[in-house]
């Protein structure tokens, strides 16, 4: 299967991804995780991306399209993939279509994590992540077994620099202005499923599974 997850920051894309990934043996491509790794490693890509990310703005289309184009060449992604956080602009969606066409494949389904903005601040400000794996926890909704520590590796959890109420505002503006048109783009292609992303994780998971039957 070839899937796209789209939704505002904190809508639960990263929480549902591992579940889908394990169930269908797909490769998980999260542009946010890849960009954060590049920033941490201070690679040329990371240096270029950092300023926009810190402000809650989108990184340039050419940078993220380049990352995805490279990732799609990995043998582990040939059977199927989950794109988490890409495409976020109509230009990215069009470039993706071109990249897939060249490879003779197409997207099977787009899952839209539909949710009201009002819920997202509490989700974002309570989020703690394990930076290496991208696993996310929440102080109230999904606490780790030991506070501040990853359940799987025992390594420390961190809060993302952009997970503040102030930066969330810019990220939501970017979502409404630049990413919502992407949802219409896939709606017209009739491969879109809307999820009730405000529900508890188990219920969202059930909706995802139903959509993928």
Catalytic residues, by residue number, are 13, 88, 127, 160, 171
Binding mask 163-192 for ligand ADP (x = CB under 6 A): --------x---------------------
Buried b (16+ CB within 10 A) or exposed e, 193-205: eebebbeeeeebb
Does residue 71 touch ligand ADP according to CB under 6 A? no
Give the nearest distance from C-beta 136 to ligand ADP in angstroms: 4
* Residue 13 sits in the site that holds ligand ADP (CB under 6 A): yes
Residue 7 interacting with ligand ADP (CB under 6 A) = yes
Decide: is 53 part of the binding site for ligand ADP (CB under 6 A). yes
Task: Please report whether residue 81 would count as binding ligand ADP according to CB under 6 A.
Answer: no
**In the complex, minimum distance from the CB of residue 156 to ligand ADP, in angstroms, rounded to a whole number:** 16
Secondary structure of 129-170 as H, E, C letters: EECCCCEEEECCCECCCCCCECCCCCCECECCCCCCHHHHHH
Cα-Cα-Cα-Cα torsion 163, 167, 169, 171, nearest 10 degrees, comes to -80
Residue 64 in contact with ligand ADP, rule: CB under 6 A: yes
The separation between the first and the last C-alpha atoms of the chain, rounded to the nearest angstrom, is 11
Q: Which stretch binds ligand ADP (CB under 6 A): 50-58, 74-82, 104-112, 183-191?
A: 50-58
**DSSP 8-state assignment for residue 178:** I
Calculate the alpha carbon distances from 112 to 9, 11, 50, 52, 204 in Å: 12, 9, 27, 24, 11
**Sole binder of ligand ADP in the list 28, 50, 88, 130 (CB under 6 A):** 88
SS3 3: strand
Q: Is residue 90 part of the contact set for ligand ADP (CB under 6 A)?
A: no
Q: Which residues bind ligand ADP (CB under 6 A)?
A: 7, 9-15, 31-32, 35, 52-53, 56-59, 64, 85-86, 88, 92, 123, 126-127, 136-138, 141-142, 171, 200-202, 204
């Amino acid at each position: 299967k070839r899937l796209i997850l789209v939704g505002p920051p904190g809508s639960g894309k990263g929480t549902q991804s591992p579940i889908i990934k394990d169930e269908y043996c797909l490769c998980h491509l999260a542009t946010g995780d890849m960009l954060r790794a590049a920033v941490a490693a201070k690679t040329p890509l990371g240096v270029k991306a950092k300023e926009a990310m810190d402000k809650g703005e989108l990184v340039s289309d050419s940078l993220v399209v380049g990352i995805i184009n490279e990732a799609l060449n990995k043998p582990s992604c040939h059977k199927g993939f989950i794109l988490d956080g890409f495409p976020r602009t109509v230009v990215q969606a069009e470039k993706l279509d071109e990249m897939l066409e060249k490879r003779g494949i197409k997207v099977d389904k787009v899952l839209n994590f539909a949710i009201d903005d009002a819920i997202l601040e509490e989700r974002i400000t309570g989020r703690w992540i394990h930076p290496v794996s991208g696993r996310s926890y929440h102080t109230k909704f999904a606490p780790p077994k030991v506070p501040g520590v990853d359940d799987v590796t025992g390594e420390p959890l961190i809060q993302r620099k952009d997970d503040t109420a102030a930066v969330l505002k810019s990220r939501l503006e970017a979502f409404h202005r630049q990413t919502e048109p992407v949802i219409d783009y896939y709606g017209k292609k009739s491969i879109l499923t809307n999820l009730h992303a405000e529900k508890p994780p188990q219920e969202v998971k059930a909706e995802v599974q139903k959509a993928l039957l």
